[in-house]
Amino acid sequence: MQDPGARRFGLLCLGVTALGWGLNWPVLKFLLSEMPPLTARGLAGLLAALALAGFALARGLPLLVPGRKWPALIIASALNVTAWMGLATMGLRYLGAGEGAMICYTMPAWTALAAWPVLGERPSAARLLALVLGMAGVVLLVTENGVALEWEKMPGVAMILVGAVLFALGTVWFKRHPLGLNPVASVAWQVGLGCLPMALAGPFLENADFAQVSNAGWAAFLYMAALPLCLCYLAWFAALAALPAGVAAIGTLAVPLIGVLSGAAFLNEPFGPRQAAALALTMAGIVLAIRTGPRKA
């Protein structure tokens, strides 16, 4: 029987993770009003990677990457961080924070689909239904009065969907080519390597004026580096260690919910029947995707 104290600690860590990741959507949306996306994500990611590496060293956790693992690490970083975070951040220039969170969290269904060609795990009918439900939620988000497409949102939808699909590919790639690093070192390397291209490209592709960033903007920048990319990852690994994987996975359902509600509360984003229905479809899809198992092809 699981220690009740360990379970309570795991649930606390899971709550911290969901809250930090969910609140990051409106925080990031606000930050993009003061700082361009590649610069914001790239620099915050490098800061977070340094902090995670420092934590690993302080705890005596090894950071050395075996030479044969570098190709797998670079590919995982490109898919899980560069593509995922970069495209999701740029997509928020066209979408609200809540809309972005809902579209991003179709990724469990995309992961189930990507596992078929890569891992030979044929998706069950329930997981295919999960993808249909998630995409139905996306369609609701980008239609006005239930019929007309809101075309100005489509670039953001495309970016975030592509980012979710690439993240799904990165997830199954990581499963097939494990790095063998401890979780903190793995995240530090992936976040650092994945955010480095964005940080380097920012000065050439964007015109960031740091002098014009307000105190609230800098607070949002530090929040993004310190909580979602550092504390929340550490809390997530602690939750995985203390709770069954299924319980931890179900806990991530709170992330899009918090993203939608906090976007409405802090950024005055609309939340009516259409958004509520889209959220319900998305969350139903997540439940199906993470609660039903694959079949071997």
Which range, of 81-90, 135-144, 182-191, 259-268, averages the lowest pLDDT?
135-144
pLDDT of residue 10: 84
Q: Whose CA is closest to 270, among 150, 154, 159?
A: 150
Encode pLDDT of 152-162 as tens digits.
Answer: 888 999 999 89
Confidence of residue 291 (pLDDT cuts 50, 70, 90): low
pLDDT at 145 over 90: no
Give the CA diameter of the chain.
57
The 10s digit of each residue's pLDDT in 31-75 is: 999 999 999 999 999 999 999 999 999 999 999 999 899 999 999
162: exposed, middle or buried (Cβ count in 10 Å: 0-12, 13-18, 19+): middle
Q: Out of 55-59, 86-90, 154-158, 166-170, which region has the weakest mean confidence (pLDDT)? A: 166-170
Average pLDDT of span 90-119: 82
Residue 285 C-beta-side C-alpha neighbours within 13 Å: 30
Q: What is the mean pLDDT of the chain?
A: 86
The string of DSSP codes covering 127-195 is HHHHHHHHHHHHHHHTEETTTEE-GGGHHHHHHHHHHHHHHHHHHHHHHHS-----HHHHHHHHHHHHH
CB 269 within 8 A of CB 96: yes
| pLDDT band at residue 194 using 50, 70 and 90 as cut-offs | very high
Q: What share of the chain is helix, strand, coil (3-state, %, to 5)?
A: 80, 5, 20
Rounded Cα gap, residues 91 and 158, in angstroms: 8
Give the DSSP H/E element, type plus range, for residue 267: helix 254-267
Please choose, from the candidates 18, 7, 170, 4, the residue with its C-alpha nearest in 3D space to the C-alpha of residue 87. 170
Residue 202 has pLDDT above 80, yes or no: yes
Q: Report CA dihedral (203, 208, 213, 219) to the nearest 10 degrees.
A: -40
Q: Which CA distances in Å does 162 have to 80, 118, 174?
A: 12, 18, 18
Per DSSP bridges, beta strands 121-122 and 143-144 are unpaired
**Domain layout of the chain by residue ranges:** 4-296
pLDDT in tens, 216-258: 999 999 999 999 999 998 898 888 778 776 666 666 778 888 9
- What are the structure tokens assigned to 21, written together? 């990741």
What's the CA gap between 40 and 267, in Å, rounded?
19
Q: At what angle do helices 84-91 and 183-205 cross, to 10 degrees?
A: 50
Q: Can you state the angle between helices 97-104 and 125-141, rounded to 10 degrees?
A: 160
Percent of the chain's residues with pLDDT above 90: 48
Calculate ∠ Cα 226-229-231, nearest 5°. 60
User: What average pLDDT does this structure show over 120-134?
Assistant: 77
pLDDT of residue 40: 96
Query: Is the model's pLDDT at 146 over the cut of 60?
Result: no
The token duo for 257 is 């919910």
Assess whether pLDDT exceeds 90 at residue 177.
no
Distance CA 290, CA 285 (A): 9
Minimum mean pLDDT range among 76-85, 194-203, 284-293: 284-293
pLDDT on residue 41: 95
Instruction: Enumerate residues 6+ apart whose C-beta is below 8 A from 32.
Output: 40, 89, 92, 93
Q: What is the pLDDT of residue 156?
A: 92
Q: What is the pLDDT of residue 32?
A: 96
